[in-house]
A = this chain, B = another copy of it.
Amino acid sequence: NGRSALHLDHRGSPGQLWQTIKAEARRDAEAEPVLASHLHMTILAQKSFAKSMAFTLANKLSSPTLLGTQLTRLISDAYSDDETILQACIADILAVLDRDPACDSVIQCMLNFKGFQALQCYRIAHWLWQSGRKTLALMIQSQVSGVFHVDIHPAAQVGQGVLLDHATGVVIGETAVVGDNVSMLHHVTLGGSGTGSGIRHPHIGHGVLIGAGVSVLGNVFVGYDSKIGAGSVVVTDLPPQCVAVGVPARVIKQKCDREP
């Protein structure tokens, strides 16, 4: 299929990835003229992967009072200032290609997946927050919630290689920590315990898979590589490599294989 044909691997540099993306865009623009203008503006007329991402995200977030050109410059500045933002973005693309059976090209993820796009916007808001520009960070959080239906507080810490699948209704609170290679479905809440100060949101370990509609609430820890079944409510710590389900969630399997 398209995925293997493109010879993408986990060591792909931004330069290699960009060649793949342009090849995909040329192929799709030729096969589907209705999309030619869209693909030209977002990919083929852009000078680099960073420029293409900045243009694509800015276009989605722009409003009559926050212009696309301002946002494009802001996102480009973030990418220039902190190269780990773009590294995380590439890791997120590879995560989608690896883990989402419905995705078989890079541009499908880049241009079509609102979970991916929302996460990249969060990474910009997080950079602003850390730079002390909290008002703008919070305004971008609000635009992301409006445009992508994903509400991630800019102070939250989210690792790389993260997949937000379908994404509608995801909420990640101010003091939450999300490890690398976490996958979460739509309607997942990493929410507060209701107490007003200190760490009041969950810490999700590396490699955790969180099913649709799950709420993890309060200052709880979910161990690495665990899986939480759809619709569960987690209010206590979970060990690593377990499977937990239910309201409230109970561990139904310990030290499970990675592919049960």
Contacts and interface: CB of A to CB of B under 8 A. Distances in A.
B247 A136 contact: no
Interface residues of A, number: 65
A204 to B, nearest CB: 16
Q: How many copies does the complex hold?
A: 3
A70 B34 contact: yes
Interface in A1-39: 28, 31-32, 34-35, 37-38
B233 A230 contact: yes
Interface string A204-216: 0000000111010
B230 A213 contact: no
A135 B39 CA distance: 11
Contacts of A74: 34
Interface string A135-161: 110110110011111010100000000
Contacts of A168: 145, 149, 151, 168-169, 171
Interface string A183-199: 00111010110001100
